[in-house]
Amino acid sequence: MAIPYYHVDVFADELFAGNPAGVCILSAFPANGIMQKIAIENRHSNTAFVVSRGDGDFDLRWFTPKIEDDLCGHATLASAYVLALREHNVWPVRFHTRSGVLTVAQVRDSGEHDRFEMDFPARPGQPCETPVGLLEALGLKSALVTKSRDYLVVVDEAEQVRTLSPDIGALAKTDGGIGTIVTAPGEHDVDYVCRFFAPSIGIDEDPATGSIHCTLAPYWSSRLGKERLRAQQLSARGGTMQCTVSGDRVKIAGRARLHLHGAIEL
């Protein structure tokens, strides 16, 4: 069986930046074990599996190298981008996922490329006790810590986020949550910066993450008094996103670039 496969760089204006995602286009989902093996083989932080539904929508699942994910932004945007490449003509596209129905709109810019905007659930952080060893693993002495799905660690300066060098092994042992977001106020025309670490699910550092803005955007919207925000992820590959907070939803927009298209042979 040949599975159409796409490798897409997401939240990037050019190739070899942003976050690589694998996208598999299927008529039906294979066994979970097969999807997990494909994700392991791909070595991306997430591989998306897309199946067309009879009602014109799509079912969407995401796998990291270790688990089936509950919400993934960059692989969702990559999936919408691939559907656009395959000349899907009904927008916004609707994906049925473990986190409910997620929509992605195609946004026409005046420039050369298209942007895509995802509509995701807001996940504001809640007060919590700082897990033993979390700040030490990050190399921080103090920070504000809250929790939604992930821990949100807020520091004072963008440079602290940029130069962070966590102990990944120790970070993987902290209790609770899927990952750890570290954030600070941005510089110049950027409202906030961030990095994301999730070694317990096979992602030491994610290059450019969509789902964390379900937590980040509500926090910075409240703190800065702004509904529209520009974010930058300070990983080695980097990534840029535009976020809009609207009630209990967060819209997350970015660009994508196709790296390769082929087939997985099973």
Question: String of b and e for 113-143 (b: at least 16 CB within 10 Å)?
Answer: eebbbbbbebbbbeeeebbeebbebbebeeb
Residue 68: Cβ within 10 Å count: 15
Measured in whole angstroms, how far is the alpha carbon of residue 257 from the centre of its chain?
A: 15
Q: 39 and 10 in one domain?
A: yes
Q: 41 and 15 in one domain?
A: yes
Find tokens 């129905």 and name the residue: 101
pLDDT band at 111 (very low <50, low <70, confident <90, very high): low
Helix (H, G, I), strand (E, B) or coil at 63: strand
Mean pLDDT of 202-221: 97
Cα R_g (the chain), whole angstroms: 18
Q: Count up the domains in the chain and report the number.
A: 2
Q: With 50 as the cut, is the pLDDT of residue 199 above it?
A: yes
pLDDT band at 178 (very low <50, low <70, confident <90, very high): confident
Find tokens 């976020």 and name the residue: 243
Q: 237 and 152 in one domain?
A: yes
**Beta bridge pairs of residue 261:** 6
Q: 172 and 104 in one domain?
A: no
Mean pLDDT of 97-112: 83
Q: 114 and 155 in one domain?
A: no
Q: What is the token pair recorded at 238? A: 């980097």
* Residue 241, pLDDT score: 97
* Residue 109, pLDDT score: 65
* Residue 110, pLDDT score: 46
Q: What is the token pair recorded at 221? A: 């919207």
Q: 11 and 99 in one domain?
A: yes
Mean pLDDT of 60-85: 97
| Backbone phi, psi, residue 96, to 5° | -95, 120
Q: 243 and 171 in one domain?
A: yes
CATH number of domain containing 258: 3.10.310.10
Rounded CA-CA distance 244/229 in Å is 6
* Residue 174, pLDDT score: 85
* Residue 73, pLDDT score: 97
Q: With 60 as the cut, is the pLDDT of residue 122 above it?
A: yes
Q: 151 and 62 in one domain?
A: no
For 194, the domain range is: 126-247
Q: 131 and 112 in one domain?
A: no
pLDDT band at 205 (very low <50, low <70, confident <90, very high): very high
Q: 111 and 14 in one domain?
A: yes
pLDDT band at 175 (very low <50, low <70, confident <90, very high): low
Q: 98 and 37 in one domain?
A: yes
Calculate the average pLDDT of the chain: 95
Q: 242 and 139 in one domain?
A: yes
Mean pLDDT of 77-83: 97
Measured in whole angstroms, how far is the alpha carbon of residue 73 from the centre of its chain?
A: 4
